[in-house]
A = this chain, B = another copy of it.
Amino acid sequence: MAINASQVGLLIVYTGQGKGKTTAALGLVLRALGHGLRPCVLQFIKSERGRWGEAIMAERLGIAWRALGKGFVFDPARQREDAELAQQGWAMAQAEIASGAYDLVVLDEFTYPLAFGWLDVAEVVAWLVERRPPHLHLVITGRDAPPQLLAAADLVTEMVMVKHPYDAGVRAQLGIEF
């Protein structure tokens, strides 16, 4: 859709320990699509091999969608591989953001490469602030968002876990958790 003067690109962060961070970003993608905005989703941790409900819908709706991760790796011996993946992912994110092809870019679980030190937080935040096209909305999700990112953001919501079904022994539910 045409960019007009009232359109100001927001830097939005959904963080916290509660559920609903990625899910809220997906809702923004749906809303943006309804207005003819062009969304792009880059997932930093989730594996391409996962059969996520949202990835199935993205394919059906023709949404640009890239899964850049291999799932969470808790093996310290493989941290270097994760760091390399994150750096490749960040290079791809920079290219997509700067391309002018999108109005809304979601960097899903992007807080983890920042929090784990796989990327330089100050460099990343400076790039996002200075180089992002002015109309582009950028959404970053994940726990433990670094303070420098929060300081640069326009809108920050912390999702606080009040109650979780795992506590009651209920397994992850298809269509809800994945």
Contacts and interface: CB of A to CB of B under 8 A. Distances in A.
Give the most central of A6, A23, A137, A158: most B CB within 10 Å. Answer: A23
B31 A23 contact: yes
Contacts of A54: 27, 30-31, 34
Give the most central of A12, A19, A25, A53: most B CB within 10 Å. Answer: A53
B19 A175 contact: no
Interface in A125-178: 137, 150, 153-165, 168, 170-171, 173-176, 178
A8 B170 contact: yes
Contacts of A154: 163, 165, 168, 170
A32 B160 CA distance: 23
A35 interface: yes
A149 to B, nearest CB: 11
Contact of A24 (B24, B29, B53): B24
A175 B18 contact: no
A23 B20 CA distance: 9
B53 A176 contact: no
A157 B161 contact: yes
Secondary structure class of chain A's binding surface, majority of residues: mixed
A156 B162 CA distance: 5
Assign chain A's interface to a size class. 35 or more
Contact of A26 (B30, B35, B56): B30
A110 interface: no
A115 interface: no
A40 interface: no
A35 B56 CA distance: 8
A7 interface: yes
Given A150-B162, A162-B158, A163-B153, A53 B33 contact: yes
